Amino acid sequence: MKAVVIRRYGSAEVLQYEDVEQPTIKPDQLLVKIYASSINPVDWKIRKGMLRFLTGNKFPMILGFDLAGEVVEVGSAVTGFQPGDAIYGSTAVPGGAYAEFAAVPANIVAPKPTNLNYEQAAVVPLAALTALQALRDQGNIQSGQSVLINGAAGGVGIFAVQIAKALGTVVTGVCSTKNLDFVKSLGADRVIDYTQQDFTKDTEPYDIIFDVVGKRSPSQCKQVLKPNGVYITTLPSVESFVQSILTSFLPGQKVKFILEKPNTQDLLYLKELIEAGKMRVVIHRTYPLQELAAAHTESETERAVGKIAIAVISH
């Protein structure tokens, strides 16, 4: 099969499109023919070696977490799936989705939303699961609360805005000037242009601040959090890590960080939101697998609006 592999950490040039052996499945896995994948910042952070404490130095390595495709083989211990099923999901570290086939545990994928094509479905899992689990599990989000999303036009941000609205909250999105109307179109009740206004100087405090882009520290956000508010980040710093431990023992404001846990139940919940029209997908651009290096390079600019999709096998 064709795949993009890396044999060392480095710049986008280390991504090589070549022939590799097709994986074999364990009893609890599915063999999936991958039609589409997507780019998440974690992909190029792994490629650069920034997460080697998680990924180690075992090469060659196939990156890519998100996938949408078709089940071609079912493990002997798997129930609920059969060959021909259209599925979507995200894999475990270090990925494996930048390939024509992947062996995936059955308990971390779900049936693909019926109203999305494969490219659209492939951009959902990791980013939308991160948004859902941050707001619901770390933030204990409740209807009627006030929620701020910093980085509202990016991959996780677009889903965070829509999920927070679907759960009945008042949403403020922070983005650049050119994306103000776009973030409003996602359902944000209020938008803040970070080039013109500093949200940490707001007069109205928030129940949840979800810093998707990791640009503001807990101490900077303290003044605009309610007494029992929660600050959540996707990029734990030394400060946020220490604060998360300290605040877990103390009453009042909490500091938390999110590490997405792929699972079927949450993917089914996202599928329901998408099929009910409560959450839409935004694709910035689609690249073929052969041009993955260019896709990584574009993602690294951190200027993409929505997600970058990867077309793997034509269908």
pLDDT tens string 140-183: 999 999 999 999 999 999 999 999 999 999 999 999 999 999 99
DSSP 112: P
Q: What is the pLDDT of residue 11?
A: 96
Residue found under tokens 């013109």: 196
Does 117 have pLDDT greater than 80? yes
Confidence class for position 239, pLDDT limits 50, 70, 90 = confident
Q: What is the pLDDT of residue 174?
A: 97
Does 119 have pLDDT greater than 90? yes
> CB within 8 A of 135, min separation 6: which ones?
141, 147, 160, 163, 164, 167, 208, 210, 232
What is the number of other CB atoms lying within 10 angstroms of the CB of residue 139? 25
* Length of the chain in terms of residues written: 315
Does 263 have pLDDT greater than 80? yes
Tell me the pLDDT of the chain averaged across its residues.
95
What is the number of other CB atoms lying within 10 angstroms of the CB of residue 179? 23
Query: Helix, strand or coil for residue 173?
Result: strand
H/E run at residue 155? helix 155-166
**Taking the model in full, what pTM does it have?**
0.96
Report DSSP letters for 210-278, one per residue.
Answer: EETT--S-HHHHGGGEEEEEEEEESS--HHHHHHHHHHHHSSS-EEEE------HHHHHHHHHHHHTTS
Integer Cα distance of 69 and 56 in angstroms: 28
Buried-exposed string 261-289: b where 16+ CB fall within 10 A, e elsewhere: ebbbebbebbbebbeeeebbbbbbebbeb
Integer Cα distance of 308 and 296 in angstroms: 9
Q: What is the pLDDT of residue 139?
A: 97
User: How much of the chain exceeds pLDDT 90, in percent?
Assistant: 85
Q: Give Cα 166 distance to the centre of its chain.
A: 18
Does 315 have pLDDT greater than 80? no
Does 93 have pLDDT greater than 90? no
The more confidently predicted of residues 115 and 242 is 115
Domains of the chain with CATH codes:
2-124+281-311 (3.90.180.10), 127-257 (3.40.50.720)
β-pairing verdict for 206-211 and 225-233: parallel
Q: What is the pLDDT of residue 65?
A: 97
Confidence class for position 34, pLDDT limits 50, 70, 90 = very high
pLDDT tens string 53-83: 888 899 999 999 999 999 999 999 999 999 9
